[in-house]
Structure 1
């Protein structure tokens, strides 16, 4: 089983409209509202590929109830820590040209006893999991070191740990040596203490981070694919070229594919192939954190994985 952890879960609302004009009334053509947050997106893509998954995190108020009901309707198992605060709403406004404007609420403030409940629940769930994937931002009230603490709990239970976050939460979380992380180029540069001028410099930087005890590090290069360092080897992955509908959630779909491959014990090349096919398939849907399994299977053969060092 794969467990996904979304500490700042949300209702993801997507508005589709002809154009967004400041200071004017805009008529929305269609609306999607569903459980969201990066870890929930990961869970949905895992489930759509027929792999057992359970979503956890913090959920509160009527928005939290909506999140849990939505996951149940989608057939995704869940076990959240109930909190006093109200879970957030995140808006994605898509115009007819495919331009996305996101408005993200900060979310609730988490109390000390709620964090303790999360520690206890994670220990129970991680003992049943092959992979535990932590995704997204930390809610207010939670220390930047909290991911590192939770990673240690999951590792103690024998789970392989993924971490997909940003900023100080990523830097601090990486101190616990998760198996997989997905930083951007700026964060890699911050770690290394110098700017990254080209792909070769990025490759050398990722290999240096491997040596610090981070086994698998992927950096997205958008439509160009990704660069991954894995136990001292580096892989360039080329994504298939498609007519993208909506790229929001593609990074989460990538993490989901990587988690599925890892849980199934696939070689790293096949994990990267599945991750890239999943991320690309997400761009073909109007909603974030969705794939059609047939798209993933079709795209697998179009992903190019090349070892470059």
Structure 2
């Protein structure tokens, strides 16, 4: 069972348009409303794969109630922590070539009591969890050290924990030694304070995060594939993709596949790549089901082509 923690969830509305023109009136060809937030997407992908998952998240107002209902409709157990603020709603505009324009709301500001209630809810519901996945940005009101406290509490309870966040929250949490961290290329570059132009740069940056406390690093590099750096070495995985429809939630699907396959080693990396490749070919933030996966197209190797240039070199933000 994978328990997910999403401190700043959302309702995500996605419109598909022929082209995005600033100042024009556009007609959407398709529209989706999905539960949003990185941890929420991990739960959705775990559930789609047929595994049990529990989503712990703050919920406020009508949007929070709608979010909880959508998750339950997907077979996800929900442990909602009531908050006074309103759950945020985000908008995404998707173009046929895969370009995605997003408008993300800030979300509610959590009080100290709500912050502690969220931590307590994770502790109360984590018995029996194989993994806790903490994902996404922290809402206003939570200090950068909030994830570090959550990692420490999880380890004291004997539970493995995966972390997908960035910036000061990631930096602070590394000292608590999360079992897995899952940055994308931009987040990895930001964490080490230098641009990443090659796969070798990404591997060295991941090794640096391990030296700073992470026990394993699963780095999503977009079209270039994924890198896993752990105590056994560095591994590279990739899979061909016919056409990118939406990259919303693809990294979250990758993390779900990685954890559902055990959360360690080559087999888990291959599952992560298969889930990510399937997710980008689906609309909005739709998560792949087993029939969407093509594991036979995934290639994983320990012979990482370190000098290979990244398609979109990751600068330091």
Q: Could you say what the CA RMSD is over the residues aligned between the two structures, in angstroms?
A: 1.8
Alpha-carbon distance, 1:262 to partner = 1.9
Of 299, 302, 305, which residue of structure 1 is paired with 2:297? Answer: 302
Structure 2 distance, partners of 1:195, 1:94, is: 28
Q: Which residue of 1 aligns with 2:275?
A: 278
Q: Aligned residues, how many?
A: 304
Equivalent position SS for 1:215: coil
Alpha-carbon distance, 1:122 to partner = 0.9
Q: What is the CA deviation profile of residues 240-280 of structure 1, one whole-angstrom value per residue up to 9, with x for unaligned ones?
A: 332222121110100100111126xxx51000011110111
Question: Are the structure 2 counterparts of residues 194 and 30 from structure 1 closer, same or farther at C-alpha, using a change threshold of 3 Å?
Answer: closer
Q: Which residue of 2 aligns with 1:214?
A: 214
Q: Which residue of 2 aligns with 1:34?
A: 34
Alpha-carbon distance, 1:184 to partner = 3.6
Report 1:223-234 matches (<5 A): 223-234=223-234
Q: Which residue of 1 aligns with 2:235?
A: 235
Does the 8 Å contact 1:207/1:233 carry over to 2?
A: no
Report 1:1-309 matches (<5 A): 1-192=1-192, 194-262=194-262, 268-296=265-293, 299-308=294-303
Structure 2 distance, partners of 1:196, 1:280, is: 22
Question: Are the structure 2 counterparts of residues 188 and 72 from structure 1 closer, same or farther at C-alpha, using a change threshold of 3 Å?
Answer: closer
Equivalent position SS for 1:262: coil
Alpha-carbon distance, 1:187 to partner = 4.4
Does the 8 Å contact 1:277/1:303 carry over to 2?
A: yes
Moved more, 61-70 or 285-294: 285-294
Structure 1 distance, partners of 2:236, 2:111, is: 43
Structure 2 distance, partners of 1:195, 1:302, is: 30
Equivalent position SS for 1:106: coil
Q: Under a length normalisation based on structure 1, what TM-score does the superposition of the two structures give?
A: 0.92
Structure 1 distance, partners of 2:137, 2:189, is: 20
Question: Are the structure 2 counterparts of residues 194 and 14 from structure 1 closer, same or farther at C-alpha, using a change threshold of 3 Å?
Answer: closer
Q: Under a length normalisation based on structure 2, what TM-score does the superposition of the two structures give?
A: 0.90
Q: What is the CA deviation profile of residues 166-188 of structure 1, one whole-angstrom value per residue up to 9, with x for unaligned ones?
A: 11111112221111112244544
Alpha-carbon distance, 1:194 to partner = 4.9
Equivalent position SS for 1:279: helix
Question: Are the structure 2 counterparts of residues 242 and 146 from structure 1 closer, same or farther at C-alpha, using a change threshold of 3 Å?
Answer: same
Does the 8 Å contact 1:122/1:153 carry over to 2?
A: no
Does the 8 Å contact 2:175/2:213 carry over to 1?
A: no
Does the 8 Å contact 1:254/1:278 carry over to 2?
A: yes
Alpha-carbon distance, 1:193 to partner = 5.3
Alpha-carbon distance, 1:16 to partner = 1.5
Structure 2 distance, partners of 1:207, 1:232, is: 12
Equivalent position SS for 1:256: helix
Alpha-carbon distance, 1:65 to partner = 0.3
Unaligned runs of 5+ in 2: 305-317
Alpha-carbon distance, 1:24 to partner = 2.3
